[in-house]
Structure 1
């Protein structure tokens, strides 16, 4: 298969058939920082419980090397619809359906790009995976790096941006989004995914 340069003008309308809220971004504008995974390790209750999260996800150094092999990607924006029956302090479950929809659509965006000839297409999600009620690390006492092969949805599980060390705020700012830290669980917010194209 011969390599060809991506024609975003041609590809973007096809991707928008999967999800309409897309913003192109240069891979050089995706910001990776070592501090990001501290938020996973010391702030997230899902740390170590999902195969798309640390310590199973790519490290910031690996992510920098991977990004150097891409030129462009698209940011996908998703409206978050919380489950009012679950306390917001249980964020993962509070947003379960929204996360699930975002993860499924990021996978479908990656697949559409791949079928359009972008064979390097790879998606990165927001927040921990929700394809299963519990993940293998939650079910087994000891899980090593090779246990990821037992993932029940291996074909479509992708790590979250933050799990890979991507500074999501700074990256979205570079893509033209104007964000601020939310001061209350009652404020509306969005989830974001990233699909690297080439």
Structure 2
């Protein structure tokens, strides 16, 4: 049975394996709103509908709330990156690191005893892992994802309020941004979330 120590071991694992920082949060505190999920389609993201992990192929905010109800806790992590990297050819590598980090933490959680751990990352897995392929293989028939071990859904498609998660974690959220003079903010964050079920929630505190 997972324990509070298991949670802290997962936090330490995340920090050793790609995350700049990580915390455990209660899923009751995670904000979920339809308006955030709507940003995927209005204005439409260029990856909208191109991946099994992107809207409209995901269960959206209502689906996430059902999962959260069955997963009282979550590990939230961030990766600090130079903002300029998100406006360069390095952008795909940044989101690949994010996807792989989320998947690695999920895998570690499964090994620890969280048999229903679920990871969420950011960006489109299609743009990261299958950018050179015309279609998402998981949307084909028969459906078979090319990268099931590392491809994870984006938090944005589920309406997750990432800014609120940063506030809960006590972190300053650094937005990627390009100024009028062509310069960018020095640093930015990308982030992920891993839902953790527990049969011993009442004895756990953050």
Q: Which deviations, in whole Å up to 9, do the C-alpha atoms of 1:60-114 show, x marking residues without a partner?
A: 1111111111111111111234676x9x3xx8x6610000011011101110111
Q: Which deviations, in whole Å up to 9, do the C-alpha atoms of 1:113-140 show, x marking residues without a partner?
A: 11111112111001111122245xx438
The count of residues paired between Structure 1 and Structure 2 equals: 187
Aligned twin of 1:13: 12
Structure 1's 116 and 69: CA in aligned 2 closer, same or farther, altered over 3 A?
same
Alignment TM-score, normalising by the size of structure 1 = 0.80
Alignment of 1:27-106 (within 5 A): 27-43=27-43, 44-81=45-82, 88=87, 95-106=91-102
1:155 deviates by 3.4
Alignment of 1:158-169 (within 5 A): 158-169=152-163
1:157 deviates by 1.8
In 1, Cα distance between equivalents of 2:40 and 2:188: 20
Q: Which deviations, in whole Å up to 9, do the C-alpha atoms of 1:41-77 show, x marking residues without a partner?
A: 0232211122211111221111111111111111111
In 1, Cα distance between equivalents of 2:77 and 2:138: 32
In 1, Cα distance between equivalents of 2:116 and 2:32: 20
- Unmatched runs of 5 consecutive residues or more in structure 2: 198-206
* 2:187 is aligned with 1:193: no
Structure 1's 82 and 4: CA in aligned 2 closer, same or farther, altered over 3 A?
closer
Structure 1's 144 and 55: CA in aligned 2 closer, same or farther, altered over 3 A?
farther
